[in-house]
A and B are shown apart, each in its own frame.
Chain A
Amino acid sequence: AQSVTQLDSQVPVFEEAPVELRCNYSSSVSVYLFWYVQYPNQGLQLLLKYLSGSTLVESINGFEAEFNKSQTSFHLRKPSVHISDTAEYFCAVSFLGGATNKLIFGTGTLLAVQP
């Protein structure tokens, strides 16, 4: 079965501390992997994605994620968070090989950065 799992519904962290948001998936086919961020009452913004090549991908605002095929994971990390990083983060997976490569989302993780 194809699925996306974000085990942590909420991650509280103090400002300037490191953070890791976990994402695991289950698939029998190749995948593309994405992280999206959603601020309150707004749409989705693409944070970063893995399609192929280097397993470590970075965003322009300091986030990075590493594709681990053996562990079927794509965890999101940031070495030092800011108050402005407070938002809902969604991991999404595109399962390849079907008629349409639909994007399936995890349940989301609320990153709550505290001063």
Chain B
Amino acid sequence: GAVVSQHPSRVICKSGTSVKIECRSLDFQATTMFWYRQFPKKSLMLMATSNEGSKATYEQGVEKDKFLINHASLTLSTLTVTSAHPEDSSFYICSASFTLVGGYTFGSGTRLTVV
């Protein structure tokens, strides 16, 4: 149980375009979802926290106009990288928190390459 499906797993886009990454909880309702960014050989940096039906809370230094997060339902959260640039190339991972105490489950990640 508690599976999160994230897609696409890989995406290559041209500089200046926007890319949407989806994260779905398959067998539970995710009250809270988190979006992380992982640079090569680096740790996971928390970008934002989203609760269903409300605006996301962004971590310091993360541009909310560039990384748009939508959590319209209890099973779906999306991250849209707007006007992507090569420096946005990274590994993006979503995570869902569920009601079980200490419960976090992670998507398999999306490798974004901006050319």
Residues of A that sit less than 8 Å from B by CB: 32, 34, 36, 41-44, 46, 49, 51, 90, 94, 100-108
- Residue ranges of B at the interface with A (Cβ–Cβ < 8 Å): 6, 32, 34, 36, 42-46, 49, 51, 57, 93, 95, 97, 101-102, 104, 106-109, 111
Question: What are 27 A-B residue pairs whose CB atoms fall within 8 Å in the complex?
Answer: A34-B102, A41-B111, A42-B109, A43-B106, A43-B107, A43-B109, A44-B44, A44-B93, A44-B106, A46-B104, A49-B102, A90-B43, A90-B44, A100-B49, A100-B51, A100-B57, A100-B97, A102-B46, A102-B49, A103-B46, A103-B95, A103-B104, A104-B46, A105-B43, A105-B44, A107-B42, A108-B42
When the two chains form their complex, are residues B102 and A32 in contact, meaning their CB atoms are under 8 A apart? yes
Could you say which residues of chain A place their CB within 8 Å of the CB of B34?
Answer: 102-103
Minimum-distance CB pairs A-B, first 6: A43-B108, A51-B102, A107-B43, A105-B44, A44-B106, A32-B102
Contacts of A101 in B (CB 8 A): 97
Q: Which of B6, B32, B44, B106 contacts A100 (CB 8 A)?
A: B32
A104 to B101 CA separation, bound complex (whole angstroms): 16
A115 to chain B, nearest CB (A): 23
B104 touches A34 (CB 8 A): yes
* Contact partners of B44 in chain A: CB under 8 A: 44, 90, 105
- A43-B106, A100-B49 are known; give 18 further A-B pairs, CB within 8 A: A34-B102, A42-B108, A42-B109, A44-B44, A44-B93, A44-B106, A49-B102, A90-B43, A94-B102, A100-B32, A102-B46, A103-B34, A103-B104, A104-B46, A105-B43, A105-B44, A106-B43, A108-B43
What's the least CB distance linking B49 to chain A, in Å?
Answer: 5
